[in-house]
Amino acid sequence: MQSHGADIQRLERYDNSKSEYTLAIITDEDDASQLELENGQVAWASTLRHDKLFRKVDRSTGQIHYELQDIPEEEGGEHQLISLLAEGGRGAEFSELVMFGERLLTFDDRTGLVCEIREQNQLVPRHILMAGCGDELFKGFKSEWATLWGEQLIIGSHGKMDAEEWVKVLDRDYGLTSLDWSHYYQRMRDVVGVGEDGYVIHEAAEWHPFRREWLFFPRKISLEPYEKHADDRYRGANVLIVANEDYDQIHAIPMGDHIPERGVSTFKIVPGHPEECVGLKSVEVGDRTETYFFAFNLDGDILQDDVFIGAYKCEGIEIL
């Protein structure tokens, strides 16, 4: 009997009767992550929070919606993660969460660190990913999205600059391969109508093993050159990009209302309900940061409108 890959096992670990889940959500607070420990040592911190997720079906209409419920801190709903490693005075800027087998992994988009999270609050460094092909720049890879792909974990970046168009592929023993994905990123720019002057910023992606498709939900789409004020306030995207495995068939699906300051920072396919997804949207306008939870299906329907979950930036979500 043929064994299923890790990507399929993840989606089949619950069946379609499952309606209650536990979520893990991680913060990326950029400069605000630095702190001083009791012994005077400088460190960097992130918050790992847990929430209950409920999938509900209206008996009269059959309509599906998702509800999020906080787990109180005293009941294990919030944990602090401390990192002692930084690049350029910044660290613990965790941009994604992924269950890789029994390991919960997170990725620092400043240092390139790949860490296991153990016992809710222990970070165990496992790899340092380097920018671009990994051989040219002494700079950590700006990890922004990650997904299971067969037996491997594929980790990607913004796709805005050349060094961010490479992806990193890790096996179960953390063996590393770097792949040039510039053609794939260009195909995604083309499908949303972005020319040479504009840009697309990616922070959220999933490989769908049943459909054999790549799902990308860009955080920002701009037809014009980068300008911070406009980028913060007006470039948030609400379009899901769907491509086959070879990227020779690709299309975009409008997804809900366009709120220009909000952009998708992470999403996950729901195990047991593989046509449905839950995710987070982030806001960064000046010193104001916010995070919203939402849910959708792959037909383009919103299953939960944006729900405010905190005045801080979260960029990683996983279903435990």
Whether 248 and 184 have beta carbons less than 8 Å apart is answered as no
Q: How many residues does the chain have?
A: 320
Q: Residue 6: enclosing H or E segment and its boundaries?
A: helix 6-12
- Tell me the C-alpha distance between 316 and 18, whole Å: 22
The mean of the pLDDT values for the chain is 95
- The alpha-helical segments, DSSP class H, found in 74-181 are none
Q: Would you list the domain boundaries of the chain?
A: 6-319
DSSP SS3 for 223: coil
Q: What is the 3-state secondary structure (H, E, C) of 133-200?
A: CCCCCCCECCCCEEEEECCEEEEECCCCCHHHHEEEEECCCCCEEEEECHHHHHHHHHHCCCCCCCEE
Mean per-residue pLDDT for 152-160?
A: 97
- Backbone torsion region of residue 119, taken as left when φ is above 0, otherwise alpha when ψ lies between -120 and 50, otherwise beta: left
In this structure, are residues 263 and 289 in contact, taking their beta carbons and an 8 Å threshold? no
Cα–Cα distances in angstroms (integers) from residue 17 to residues 7, 12, 13, 214, 272, in the given order: 20, 12, 12, 26, 7
At 62, list the tokens. 């059959």
Query: Which of 143, 135, 165, 146 lies closest to 87, judged by CA?
Result: 143
Q: Output the CA torsion sign for 51, 282, 267, 67.
A: positive
Specify the pLDDT at position 11.
96
Asked if residue 144 lies in contact with residue 203, where contact means CB atoms within 8 angstroms, the answer is yes
Whole-number pLDDT of residue 1: 36
> Is the pLDDT assigned to residue 85 strictly greater than 50?
yes
**Would you say 13 and 6 are in contact if contact means Cβ atoms under 8 Å apart?**
no
**pLDDT exceeds 80 at position 49:** yes
Query: Tell me, what's the pLDDT at 262?
Result: 98
Q: Is the pLDDT of residue 259 over 50?
A: yes
- For domain 6-319, which architecture applies? 6 Propeller (2.120)
Q: Distance between CA 250 and CA 237 in Å, rounded?
A: 17
Residue showing tokens 């300008």:
227
- Cα–Cα distance measured from residue 49 to residue 119, given in angstroms and rounded to the nearest whole number: 13
- Using one digit for the tens of pLDDT, what is the confidence trace for 197-245? 999 999 999 999 999 999 999 999 999 999 999 999 999 999 999 999 9
- Listed in sequence order, the residues at least 6 apart from 262 whose beta carbon sits closer than 8 Å to its beta carbon are 236, 281, 282, 283, 292, 306
CB of 22 within 8 A of CB of 50? yes
Residue 284 has pLDDT above 70, yes or no: yes
> Per residue in 167-197, pLDDT tens?
999 999 999 999 999 999 999 999 999 999 9
pTM assigned to the model:
0.95
- CA dist 270 and 135 (Å) reads 36
Quote the tokens at residue 224.
Answer: 């014009």
pLDDT digits (tens, 9 = 90+) for 20-35: 999 999 988 776 688 8
In sequence order, which ranges of 69-204 are alpha helices (DSSP H)? 182-191
For residue range 90-133, list pLDDT tens digits in order.
999 999 999 999 999 999 999 999 999 998 789 999 999 999 99
Beta-bridge mates of residue 115: 106, 125
